[in-house]
Amino acid sequence: MFMLPKNRCGADLFEEMFRDPFFSGRSASAVMKTDIMEKDGGYVMDIDMPGIKKENIRAELENGYLTISAGSGSSREEKDDNGGYIYRERHSGSCSRSFYIGEGLSQKDIKASYKDGILHIAFPKIDAGELESKKAIPIE
């Protein structure tokens, strides 16, 4: 009888996969913990996104809402002595959060960078005004 391998803590790897935040049913706010500070006439947001690659993060501004989304995927293979699969697993997931930041900003007003698992976003306080159509914000 084949048994799934155990991880270092002794838990079944299949069960562990579903503990991943993307599968656990937790809200995006539980996965993407966010700190927002008022600083130098603007706002600074730090969003925890450990283990996410920068190219899998997207920041967009539309109708005064800043939406941050991220995707994740991984796979694991183990083969027997003959090179045949005895275990193979893949999973992927995504989450997103939106923040209302006001209808006076354009993508040019927002600066975003990603380092050490933290997405850092800074934008000025601006009075309400015309808003450009949906535009992607580059992440440095």
Model pLDDT for residues 29-77, shown as the tens digit of each residue: 567 899 999 998 899 999 999 888 899 999 999 988 999 999 877 667 7
Q: Report the distance separating Cα 72 and Cα 91, nearest Å.
A: 8
Q: Would you state the pLDDT for residue 107?
A: 92
Greater confidence (86 vs 21) lies with: 86
Domains and CATH numbers, the chain: 13-137 (2.60.40.790)
pLDDT tier at 102, thresholds 50, 70, 90: confident
Name, in order, each residue with C-beta under 8 angstroms of 102's C-beta and a sequence gap of 6 or more: 64, 125, 126, 128
